[in-house]
Amino acid sequence: MSKQTPRKQNGRKPTGAKQADARQTDGQSATTAKRANAGKNPGAGSGAGSGTVTEGRAGKAATADSTRIPSPAAAPAPAPAPAPEQDVPPVGEFSRRRLLGTVGAAGAAGLVVGGAGGALGVSAARDDAPEALTSIGSARVPFRPTGGGHQAGITTPLQAKGHLVAFDLAPGTDRKAAAALLRRWSRTAGELTAGRAPDADTGVALDAGPSSLTVTFGFGHSFFGRTGLTKRRPVALDPLPDFSADALDAGRSNGDLWIQIGADDALVAFHALRALQKDAAGRARLRWQMNGFNRTPGATARPMTARNLMGQIDGTNNPKPSDKDFDERIFVGRDADQAWMRGGSYAVVRRIRMLLDDWEKHSRHEQERVIGRRKDNGAPLTGGSETTPMRLDANGPDGLPVIPANAHARIAAPESNQGAAMLRRPFSYHDGFREDGAPDAGLLFVCWQADPLRAFTQVQRKLDRGDALSPFLRHEASGLFAVPPAAEPDGYVGQALLEG
């Protein structure tokens, strides 16, 4: 807080001596503020008409303090000589880290107008040492994990903001040029995820920490034909089959190259998107882009499974890294036909619009029967908590299954699909409203698996035949991408493919 307003905001009643001191200090503060305003904005003794945000707050502070000026009967102490003016940067030049550090120390109440607002403005503008980043800002996910391994963004906890982007190689971009692009992208991603600015930085995320930024790269089916690498294209990358509920926009589907960006800060995520897009100039052209979001970390009292825009807890039955067969289900094994994909994974991407107006016409009871789980806590309709296994053989007093035969949770369960499972890691999206006034909103579905044919395709075929949720969904875009292991310490993503 400013030295001009040394108020203590506690619940104790001050002694008589302290009250006199406070009155004396307040009178001095008001006098100093009036002098400052008179010098900067002549004729503004009332506090109105200030020329800048900072001055406006100071004027309000002086007005508030003037209501506590001692009465003429009190003997005021001589006013001290005015302190020398300090060079204070304009409001637009505040360091974001310094401002946030001040707010974090003062609490949200420090942002109210009046005396506290003026004090905060002065304190934030001083050239003192920056405050430490919050845990959210300082969280870092290595782009190149120690000892190698999988790319970040697969088992990483869901981030608050995400971008999914696909590129097509520009005409004339051959295998060598594609390798140069992946090398440049990997270098940029490594800098950004470490919280460092790349070359020719735009300054979009200046002062922010990495904020759990992840950048994940993948290759589409068409990439291999364009680079003369068709013999190295995995069988698992064969195009997905058509499904009856599909209404796919080809312009927003597939692509030669795919990038998934995630971060817990929207500016950090956009910064990465912009940097990678600039890196692609002359080598690849943007095919499509989708922007998504999740809950901000810390928004709930305890860590919870994410909710989608239908209000349902989404991801309850996800495989867990602690499962003994997790790696076998999610990551490509050592016996894969293409060595460069060993330790990698396959990402299925679907843009699924939710018919929210139709969905919200149904009661909570009806919605829960469509899903097969309670809306409030995600527990199966057969009872227990969110993590309680579903009892698919349980019948009610009427002799019918407690979890309806066409409930989404029943049909998608591994028990109903010969053990098939995938790691779902989606983002929600909202792209405004359609011409009929309905929200253009839903799910950017991203799932990870070792073999799409035995995971996503198998489950989606079953859902396609009678899922109670399907009438409320529209699948509007789709893609399948091969995501190789993480880059080596001095290498780049896909190096074993492009140089092997």
Residues annotated as part of the active site: 314
DSSP codes, 38-79: HHHSTT-TTS-S-SSHHHHHHHHHHHHHHTTPPPTTS-PPPP
DSSP codes, 244-294: TTB---GGGS--SEEEEEEESSHHHHHHHHHHHHHHTTTTEEEEEEEEEE-
Cα separation, 452 vs 468, whole angstroms: 23
DSSP β-ladder status, 284-293 and 257-263: unpaired
Cα separation, 95 vs 172, whole angstroms: 44
Q: Cα-flanking dihedrals φ and ψ of residue 43, to 5°?
A: 80, 10
Q: Name the one residue in this structure whose structure tokens are 């922007």.
A: 291
Cα separation, 114 vs 111, whole angstroms: 9
- Count CB neighbours of 149 within 10 A: 14
Structure tokens at 293: 């979001």
Q: Are 215 and 259 in contact (CB under 8 A)?
A: yes
DSSP β-ladder status, 284-293 and 423-424: unpaired
Strands of 380-472 (E only): list them. 423-424, 427-433, 439-449
Residues with Cβ within 8 Å of residue 176, at least 6 apart in sequence: none
- Count CB neighbours of 350 within 10 A: 25
DSSP-assigned letter for residue 341: G
Cα separation, 401 vs 413, whole angstroms: 15
Q: Are 475 and 243 in contact (CB under 8 A)?
A: yes
Cα separation, 349 vs 406, whole angstroms: 24
Cα separation, 9 vs 446, whole angstroms: 50
Q: Name the one residue in this structure whose structure tokens are 């899922």.
A: 467
Cα separation, 391 vs 383, whole angstroms: 9
Structure tokens at 303: 């860590």
DSSP β-ladder status, 439-449 and 427-433: antiparallel
